[in-house]
């Protein structure tokens, strides 16, 4: 899907506008991304960029992926 946003924060707001209720699934009450939700701008996890303030250049693919628990 396509959103109108230049940062991750704006992306979340636009997602919520298009699909009310989704914000609460991916964000804490504080607005921060939930611990077991990963947001990738391009191939990079936004936790290692600028978090919610990470810039999204026009046309960039953003992936929202639940961190699947696994491991021995």
Residue 23 binding another protein, by CB under 8 A: no
CA dihedral sign, ordered 72, 63, 48, 50: negative
Query: 26, 67 in Cβ contact below 8 A?
Result: no
CB neighbour list of residue 58: distance below 8 Å, 6 or more residues apart: none
Cβ at position 34, least distance to another protein in Å: 5
Candidate residues 5, 34, 40, 49; the one interacting with another protein per rule CB under 8 A: 34
Candidate residues 47, 50, 55, 63; the one interacting with another protein per rule CB under 8 A: 47
Interaction site with another protein (CB under 8 A): 25, 34-37, 45, 47-48, 66-72
């Amino acid at each position: 899907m396509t959103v109108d946003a230049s940062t991750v924060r704006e992306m979340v707001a636009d997602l919520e506008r298009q699909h009310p209720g989704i914000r609460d699934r991916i964000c804490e009450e504080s607005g921060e991304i939930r611990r077991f939700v990963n947001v990738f701008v391009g191939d990079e996890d936004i936790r290692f960029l600028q978090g919610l303030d990470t810039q999204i250049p026009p046309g960039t693919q953003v992936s929202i992926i639940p961190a699947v628990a696994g491991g021995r």
